[in-house]
Amino acid sequence: MPGTRLRDLSEGELLARIFPLLHGTTGPAHVHLGPGDDAAVLAAPSGAVVLTTDSMVRERDWRDDWSSGHEVGRKVVAQNLADIAAMGAVPTGLLIALAADPRTEVEWAVELTAGIAQAARAAGTPVLGGDLSSAGPGTIFVAITAVGDLAGRPPVRRDGARPGDVVAVAGTLGRSGGGLQLLLAGRGRTHLDPRPDAGASPLERAVDELCRVHRTAGEPPFAEGPRAADAGATAMIDVSDGLVRDLGRLARASGLRVELSGRALAAEAAGALTDALGADEALRQVLSGGEEHSLVATFPPGGVPAGWRVLGACVVGEPGVLVDGVEPDVLGWDHFRP
């Protein structure tokens, strides 16, 4: 029913459109009760529950002329699953809250739910329920709460890094931030653009890749969180607001300085990012680009798991992040001081 708006349906009618999309996510045995009652009921396999919430707001976290509802759904799930992974945990369930202007097309809410369900299914995570509310003119607010389980592992916190530990990353850096730069500059690719065909130039393919990561968060390395925990990670965080800003949080919590290698960072900037943005802006995005939800962690020397790339080390010193001994001239994202 394209053109039908939320105000044309009752809450119950909208839920009747949404529930079938979630079928197939609620299979796991630890789900005692899924959506439909006042609350869901989950087993807590290892006696501790990991909880996080992360939301997206139209115009602040996405724009309808760039991203589809489906892409927003995938991205808001990725943000939450990355926070669960960054504790060394695996996700066991998701709750969805949606508040939207009644003029919003029903099709958009259905697409959002389909995107959420696709990402939930890919991660083997049940959608347990949620809430609906209306919002003021133009406003759409999507919040997800994620539940996770540590399977007996101790949580990997931000404050456990020790001098001498190695700093390493799983997943890419700067791609989402690079995509945002391209979209803001009018050089980006939106959900409305056709995808480049096989004959597209390397530049077109690079632009497409960066914008796709911006619109969806790409494929963050969720499974690397528990893997890093098992390998003895001493501290971990997902990169949501930019490498320097998020590592700065880890450094301050742990009371030490993180020294990054300019050479390692230049290697991160090589490829699609440099093809699309040039070397200087590519490096800036590696340092400051958020929303890609890669994982950075600290490991005792010799303990870096295969597939993680070393970026630097922890040393005794004033808490903060330096690149080749110099404080980098980047800020990263802050919602209240963009």
Contact residues toward ligand ATP (CB under 6 A) are: 52, 54, 79, 83, 238, 240-241
Q: Does 53 carry a binding-site annotation? A: yes
User: Does 6 sit near ligand TPS (CB under 6 A)?
Assistant: no
User: Does 178 sit near ligand TPS (CB under 6 A)?
Assistant: no
Among 79, 172, 234, 254, binds ligand TPS (CB under 6 A): 79
User: Does 224 sit near ligand TPS (CB under 6 A)?
Assistant: no
- Which one, 275 or 291, has the nearer CB to ligand TPS? 291
Query: Phi then psi for 129, rounded to 5 degrees?
Result: 150, -165
Instruction: State both tokens at 231.
Output: 């390998």
Q: Does 333 carry a binding-site annotation? A: yes
Q: Shortest distance, CB of residue 83 to Mg ion, whole angstroms?
A: 4
Q: Does 230 carry a binding-site annotation? A: no
- Which one, 21 or 96, has the nearer CB to ligand TPS? 96
As a whole number of angstroms, the longest Cα–Cα distance in the chain is 61
Q: Shortest distance, CB of residue 53 to ligand ATP, whole angstroms?
A: 7
User: Does 180 sit near ligand TPS (CB under 6 A)?
Assistant: yes
Query: How far are the Cα atoms of 37, 57, 97 from residue 131, in angstroms, in the given order?
Result: 12, 16, 5
| Strand order across the beta sheet in which 309-315 lies | 235-238, 295-299, 166-170, 309-315, 257-260, 320-323
- Which one, 75 or 157, has the nearer CB to ligand TPS? 75
User: Does 291 sit near Mg ion (CB under 5 A)?
Assistant: no
Query: How far are the Cα atoms of 20, 96, 238, 304 from residue 144, in angstroms, in the given order?
Result: 19, 5, 17, 32
User: Does 308 sit near ligand TPS (CB under 6 A)?
Assistant: no
User: Does 241 sit near Mg ion (CB under 5 A)?
Assistant: no
Closest CA to 127 of 43, 21, 46: 21
CA distance 4 to 249: 45
Among 261, 262, 315, 333, binds ligand TPS (CB under 6 A): 333
CA distance 156 to 242: 20
User: Does 149 sit near Mg ion (CB under 5 A)?
Assistant: no
User: Does 240 sit near ligand TPS (CB under 6 A)?
Assistant: yes
Contact call for residues 166 and 299 (beta carbons, < 8 A): yes
Q: Does 158 carry a binding-site annotation? A: yes
- Which one, 165 or 238, has the nearer CB to ligand ATP? 238
| Helix count and strand count (H, E) for the chain | 10, 12
Q: Shortest distance, CB of residue 258 to Mg ion, whole angstroms?
A: 17
Among 238, 259, 268, 281, binds Mg ion (CB under 5 A): 238
Instruction: Find the residue with minimal CB distance to ligand ATP.
Output: 240
CA distance 63 to 196: 22
- H/E element, 41: strand 41-42
CA distance 112 to 125: 17
CA distance 127 to 129: 6
Among 6, 21, 31, 62, binds ligand TPS (CB under 6 A): 62
- Residues making up the annotated binding site for ATP are 130-131, 158, 240
Per the annotation, where are the binding residues for substrate? Answer: 61, 291, 333
Instruction: Give the interface with ligand TPS as residue ranges (CB under 6 A).
Output: 54, 59, 61-63, 79, 180, 240-241, 290-291, 333
